[in-house]
Structure 1
Amino acid sequence: MDAKTFVVVGGTSGLGLAVARQIGKDHRVAVLGDVPDEVSAVAAELGCTGLVCDVSLHEHVRAAFAEVVDRYGVIDGVVTCASVWAGGDLLELPPERIRRAVEVNALGTTYVLREALYHLHRQGFGNVVYTGAMAVVKARPGIPVYRATKSYGASLVESLAEAQHSNRIKVMQLHPGPMPTRLQERVGAEFLDEIYALPEQVASEVVRLLLLAPDDLYVSNELVLRADGRW
């Protein structure tokens, strides 16, 4: 199988890192993250391209995608896993935490999808996978801002998927439940379900979507729910 090129946004930890490890075994990977030391460490571990990118800044996202295209010519797929946690009662959340969640989870997702689709349209094919959260589907107390920002991403993907008018460019979304990741450590054990999937298990589903061929059956806006260990 010919090697393809994939961009993993938020690929330095958790689900993003698990995706990069799996798909990087047979394909070229560019990992994007906002902490330079973490990007360097993952690039060294996987032997892949590592790019420092704060997704809340459009110029960062545009430059990162342009560099990937400059190096490899095409982008076969993009998965966006970058996310900022904002848990707690709205009245207790510091304004700066609210702003950062909106900047990364909403604006950052918008910028990544904008640049991804620009390049996929230019070349005429490719897959995009948005990683949301089960919180979008089922409301949970204590996370109003986080849920709202992830719901924004889901709504954006639904509209973009319908706008492609071609199965050669697939825009899909996956909503995992809580997983034992670094983000989950920040969240706290009270938000971890009794039944859950490991990042490596959910990553397999992300990789399946990324590897869909342009002429595969119509799956744009395919929605994978309960990627959390349940049947």
Structure 2
Amino acid sequence: MSDGTETQPTPTYRRVMLKISGEALMGDQGFGLHPPTVERIAKEVKKCHDLGVEICMVIGGGNIFRGLQGSAQGMERTTADYMGMLATVMNALGMQSALEAQGVHSRVITAIRMDEVAEPYIRRRAVRHLEKKRVCIFAAGTGNPYFTTDTAATLRANEMNCEAIFKGTKVDGVYDKDPVKFDDAVRYEDITYDDVLQKHLGVMDASAIALARDNDLPIIVFSLDEPGGFETILAGDGTYTIVHG
């Protein structure tokens, strides 16, 4: 007989990287930050944090500025990429504010020094924050142009000794083709790094997939739009695709 108390899921990972796109923060707007959406994601992160999971985050900047699109419109690529990095800092600060409103201590850590608004990236200090159960939000990519936030997330996940990368998207896994456009798209339960690269499935860019493969770091792709999705997937339940060796 149930005593009416809700059983908390048991997470299968102790330290993880959550990678989300900047577009995930704009809700149904076409641009910028949508505060209710940012708050909803912060609540999802809090649920997992409350289970004792140490959480790193990397957020893209495509809701504000995307370097590749800027360079395609005639802007010099390096300048466009640096503008994109600054956009990720804005998103990181927005997420930090939402997390701390939920009572979750966090740190924004940037690959480009801007000491008045965030900490510079120092690996040992970042690890210490995680050990103290602070959420670490890594911003400004790798600090270098020509690298995406996918690559930055994989790099930081390796440096922080994360056990997996959780990539939150608008769909519940990796499909053989776009499920929004094709009704007969088939979802993979699991797939290898090499198959992702060979089939050009667009889970992450090739550099990120190769870096994850070389360090045997699994990538779990799930829907960020599914309420409670992150917490459920952390416990090994729900619908997702795992990319592994």
User: What band does the TM-score fall into relative to the shorter chain?
Assistant: 0.3 to 0.5
TM-score when normalising by structure 2: 0.42
Larger of the two Rg values belongs to structure: 2
Write 1 or 2 for the structure with the bigger share of helix: 1
